[in-house]
């Protein structure tokens, strides 16, 4: 049945191509045109048997104009494309031919010599990577046009996958520049995927929230599908086309079940729609299992095509249920509609681009990727927000329980006069237990607040670097590499912070929290300063000791917070000034001057208090933990931090560490 449906879809699309008035034409190649898109310039022929040879095809008069990109859904037929090109005298004779779909199994290019003989070149998933002319995610073949006379190119395509293609001719340098830009974009895209995946894995391990665990599975599955769909997985893994098709098909067929499991947990169907939850979970699991089995036994199209058709109805059904719940005031459904609305919109825009109904552009070419990033951001906010709501409800219930226990103690004290002493001792024990429990909850809150605060700085660096990359896609390779390095280092710092602060003993115990070693203080300071643009920090070092006994990781946290605080209160065009001076006994003082408006007199004594935020910081991001952490770290090292300020002339924070590194 699915083969007939596939044949019907291919027939409809083929007939739509035949009804157009577009005509094939000779394509001029000039030195001023680094890229030539062959859309609308080719003719096509469908070989249902797949047995036609190049001699038969070259002599055939059955070619029809191809008005847009090749798009024939699933078809077992071989598709022939023909185009005539003519090189201008000034144009280079070496070009690259690229076919953008990375999932074609067999791709052959034929050219005809002056003596009438044909030359065949092969690539595609059936060919091992080491035998291809260029190891790239798309099929790329070298094309040498050694004459200015018009030459005809024949391209034969055959695939078990979706038969679609955009054919491009490139000058070599332009192609390599486009590959660098594209690689940078996809690096950022998959970097966001990886960062969100790691965050939710840690969040799930810490909270044991099933929503976060299923979302981590969802992100991992979508990220792997994107890697396969873009061709990067095949390029770097060197998997054969059969294996990569089986993996991609299984993931696509499982997407309905994974998305349903995430949806019913995120929208709390077990509480609001228990019967619908059971039907959705069982139905999606059975359908996904059936489609995966068909993919692995009967072939890629036998499972993927019905899976995609089912998904076209399944996803709107989930969106409709979420919209109905939103209309009824169910808050979690709001996040689901927004998140997956962007994802579906991006997918539809990209599909319209494949059909040729909208013009090429950043949003049309990468609509699904942009929608995926927005989807992941909104869903991350929803999951973390849901956990915070549950935590607040639990605290409120705990507070109510505590009040109830205290009331019971008082009532029974009045009723049981003879057991006053025993009841008093019991009340003391209960209050002690309650105090210990409240302290544990407070410490947990402090821990979450500390980790959240420390994540903001590397995320700000990532955001800044992505902004610069997006604003200057034509920047030099060295500049782009520098920005990518900033992103990589910030991601590394986020990972280090997770490892550093996930130890509860380290937070609770001062002796265990310090890890003193002999550190090069200049190297520590320089490493932190390098995380910001060079024009934002003016560094001055005087008589810095060669080494200092300290916990360099905690010292980096203190320096980052001081610098971030200074930059946050300084104008964008004014750098903060950082002085590093040696002190008697081998100690060091670190002074940071900002160009802000200063600290009011009534607030200066409170700047190091936990959660305190002054009037000047109410419109800025932050949780009021940064300077408190600096003060705590200074005390742990036996040092101190102090502040001086003058209205309208900025503030100076001085961190002093003794030579011994111990209190």
Domain 511-657 in CATH 3.30.565.10? The answer is yes
Helix (H, G, I), strand (E, B) or coil at 398: helix
pLDDT at res. 492: 58
Decide if 598 contacts 614 (C-beta within 8 A).
no
Express each pLDDT in 133-174 by its tens digit: 888 888 899 998 888 889 999 999 988 777 777 899 999 899
The highest-confidence range among 235-244, 284-293, 333-342, 361-370, by mean pLDDT, is 284-293
The CA-based diameter of the chain, rounded to the nearest angstrom, is 119
191-197 long-range contacts, CB within 8 A, separation 24+:
191/487, 191/491, 192/373, 192/376, 193/219, 193/222, 193/223, 193/226, 193/372, 193/376, 194/223, 194/491, 195/462, 195/491, 195/494, 196/376, 196/380, 197/223
Decide if 118 contacts 112 (C-beta within 8 A).
yes
**How far apart (Å, rounded) are the C-alpha atoms in residues 20 and 72?**
16
pLDDT at res. 358: 61
CA angle 297, 300, 301 (to 5 degrees): 115
Q: Looking at the chain, which residues constitute the CATH 1.10.287.130 domain(s)?
A: 416-508
pLDDT at res. 23: 42
Q: Given a cut of 70, is residue 513 above it in pLDDT?
A: no
293-302 long-range contacts, CB within 8 A, separation 24+:
294/253, 295/246, 295/249, 295/250, 295/253, 296/246, 296/249, 296/250, 299/160, 300/160, 300/161, 300/245, 300/246, 300/248, 300/249, 301/2, 301/3, 301/6, 301/74, 301/160, 301/161, 302/2, 302/3
Q: Return the beta strands (E) in 105-202 as ranges.
A: 106-112, 118-123, 139-144, 151-158, 162-165, 167-171
148-152 long-range contacts, CB within 8 A, separation 24+:
148/86, 148/87, 148/88, 148/89, 149/86, 150/26, 150/84, 150/85, 150/86, 151/84, 151/85, 151/86, 151/111, 151/112, 152/58, 152/82, 152/83, 152/84, 152/111, 152/112
Express each pLDDT in 418-463 by its tens digit: 667 777 777 787 888 787 777 657 656 665 665 566 666 677 777 7
pLDDT at res. 580: 94
Three state DSSP letters for 537-583 = EEEEEECCCCCEEECHHHHHHHHHHHHHHHHHCCCCCCCEEEEEEEE
Q: Looking at the chain, which residues constitute the CATH 3.30.565.10 domain(s)?
A: 511-657
Q: Return the beta strands (E) in 300-432 as ranges.
A: none
Q: Given a cut of 80, is residue 413 above it in pLDDT?
A: no
Question: CA torsion 75→76→82→87, rounded to 10°?
Answer: 90
pLDDT at res. 6: 41
pLDDT at res. 502: 44
pLDDT at res. 449: 60
**How far apart (Å, rounded) are the C-alpha atoms in residues 397 and 495?**
34
Bridge partners of 595?
none
Four-way CATH pick for 416-508: 3.40.50.880, 3.40.50.300, 3.30.70.260, 1.10.287.130 = 1.10.287.130
Q: How many residues does the chain have?
A: 663
Decide if 519 contacts 553 (C-beta within 8 A).
no
Place of tokens 């219930």: 397
Q: Given a cut of 80, is residue 253 above it in pLDDT?
A: yes
Question: With bands split at pLDDT 50, 70 and 90, how would you rate the model's confidence at 286?
Answer: very high
Supply 91's token pair: 């144009």
For 2-177, give the CATH class.
mainly beta
Decide if 561 contacts 627 (C-beta within 8 A).
yes
Q: What residues contact residue 369 under an 8 Å CB cut-off, 6+ apart?
A: 189, 226, 346
pLDDT at res. 292: 93
Q: Looking at the chain, which residues constitute the CATH 2.60.40.2380 domain(s)?
A: 2-177
Supply 448's token pair: 């979450």
For residues 198-207, one letter each, b for 16 or more C-beta atoms within 10 angstroms of the residue's C-beta and e for the rest, the string is bbbbbbbeeb
- Residue of 126, 100, 95 lying closest to 28 (CA atoms): 95
For residues 621-654, one letter each, b for 16 or more C-beta atoms within 10 angstroms of the residue's C-beta and e for the rest, the string is ebebbbbbbbbbbbebbebebebebeeeebbbbb
Express each pLDDT in 372-394 by its tens digit: 667 667 766 666 665 666 566 66
Q: What is the CA radius of gyration of the chain?
A: 32
Mean pLDDT, residues 37-61:
89
Express each pLDDT in 191-210 by its tens digit: 877 887 787 787 777 777 77
More confident residue, 114 or 577: 577
**How far apart (Å, rounded) are the C-alpha atoms in residues 150 and 83?**
10
Supply 273's token pair: 């729609």
**How far apart (Å, rounded) are the C-alpha atoms in residues 358 and 365?**
10
Report the chain's mean pLDDT, rounded to a whole number: 79
pLDDT at res. 173: 92
Question: With bands split at pLDDT 50, 70 and 90, how would you rate the model's confidence at 34?
Answer: very high
Bridge partners of 123?
107
- Residue of 155, 174, 267, 259 lying closest to 217 (CA atoms): 259
Supply 164's token pair: 């679609």
**How far apart (Å, rounded) are the C-alpha atoms in residues 222 and 471?**
27
Q: Given a cut of 50, is residue 24 above it in pLDDT?
A: no
pLDDT at res. 608: 84
pLDDT at res. 105: 80
For residues 220-258, one letter each, b for 16 or more C-beta atoms within 10 angstroms of the residue's C-beta and e for the rest, the string is bbbbebbbbbbbbbbbeeebebeebbbbbbbbbbbbbbb
For the chain, percent of residues with pLDDT exceeding 70: 78
């Amino acid at each position: 049945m699915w083969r007939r449906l596939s044949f019907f879809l291919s027939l409809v699309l083929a007939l739509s191509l035949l009804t157009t008035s577009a005509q094939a034409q000779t394509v001029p190649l000039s030195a001023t045109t680094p890229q030539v898109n062959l859309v609308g310039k080719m003719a096509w022929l469908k070989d249902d048997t797949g047995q036609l040879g190049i001699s038969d095809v070259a002599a055939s008069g059955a070619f029809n104009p191809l008005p847009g990109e090749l798009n024939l859904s699933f078809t077992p037929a071989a598709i022939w494309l023909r185009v005539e090109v003519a090189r201008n005298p000034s144009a280079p004779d070496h070009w690259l031919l690229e076919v953008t779909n990375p999932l074609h199994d067999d791709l052959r290019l034929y050219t005809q010599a002056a003596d009438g003989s044909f030359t065949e070149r092969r690539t595609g998933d059936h060919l091992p990577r080491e035998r291809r002319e260029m190891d790239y995610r798309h099929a790329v073949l070298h094309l040498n046009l050694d004459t200015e006379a018009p030459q005809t190119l024949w391209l034969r395509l055959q695939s078990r996958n979706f038969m679609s293609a955009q054919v491009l001719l490139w000058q070599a340098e332009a192609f390599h520049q486009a590959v660098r830009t594209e690689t940078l974009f996809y690096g950022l895209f998959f970097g966001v995927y990886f960062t969100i995946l790691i965050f939710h894995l840690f969040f799930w391990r810490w909270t044991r929230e099933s929503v976060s665990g299923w979302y981590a599975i969802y992100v991992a599955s979508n990220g792997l599908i994107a890697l396969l769909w873009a061709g990067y997985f095949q390029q770097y893994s060197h998997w054969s086309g059969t294996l990569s098709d089986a993996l991609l098909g299984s993931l696509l067929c499982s997407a309905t079940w994974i998305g349903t499991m995430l949806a019913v947990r995120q929208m709390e169907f077990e509480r609001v729609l228990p019967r619908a939850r059971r039907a959705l979970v069982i139905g999606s699991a059975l359908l996904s299992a059936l489609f995966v089995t068909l993919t692995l036994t009967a072939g890629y199209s036998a499972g993927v095509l019905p899976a995609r058709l089912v998904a076209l109805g399944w996803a709107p059904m989930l969106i409709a249920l979420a919209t109905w719940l939103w209309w009824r005031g169910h808050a979690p459904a709001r996040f689901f509609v927004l998140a997956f609305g962007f994802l579906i919109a991006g997918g539809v825009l990209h599909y319209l681009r494949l059909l040729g109904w909208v013009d090429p552009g950043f949003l049309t070419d990468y609509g699904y990727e942009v929608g995926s990033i927005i989807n992941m951001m909104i869903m991350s906010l929803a999951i973390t927000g849901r956990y915070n709501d549950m935590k607040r409800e639990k605290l409120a219930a705990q507070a109510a329980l505590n009040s109830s226990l205290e009331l019971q103690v008082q009532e029974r004290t009045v009723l049981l006069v003879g057991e006053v002493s025993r009841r008093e001792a019991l009340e003391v024990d209960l209050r002690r237990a309650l105090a210990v429990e409240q302290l544990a909850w407070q410490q947990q809150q402090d821990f979450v607040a500390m980790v959240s605060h420390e994540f903001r700085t590397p995320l700000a660096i990532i955001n800044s670097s992505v902004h610069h990359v997006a604003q200057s896609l034509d920047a030099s390779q060295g500049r782009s590499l520098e920005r990518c390095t900033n992103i990589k280092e910030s991601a590394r710092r986020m990972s280090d912070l997770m490892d550093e602060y996930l130890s509860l003993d380290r937070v609770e115990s001062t002796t265990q929290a310090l890890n003193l070693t002999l550190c090069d203080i200049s190297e520590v300071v320089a490493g932190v300063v390098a995380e910001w643009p060079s024009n934002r920090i003016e560094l001055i070092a005087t008589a810095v000791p060669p080494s200092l006994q300290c916990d360099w990781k905690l010292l980096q946290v203190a320096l980052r917070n001081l610098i971030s605080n200074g930059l946050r209160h300084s104008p964008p065009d004014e750098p903060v000034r950082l002085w590093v001076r040696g002190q008697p006994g081998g100690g060091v003082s670190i002074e940071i001057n900002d160009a802000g408006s200063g600290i009011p007199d009534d607030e200066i004594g409170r700047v190091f208090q936990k959660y305190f935020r002054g009037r000047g910081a109410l419109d800025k991001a932050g949780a009021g933990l940064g300077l408190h952490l600096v003060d705590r770290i200074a005390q742990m090292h036996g040092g101190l931090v102090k502040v001086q300020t003058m209205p309208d002339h900025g503030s100076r924070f001085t961190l002093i560490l003794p030579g011994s590194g111990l209190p």
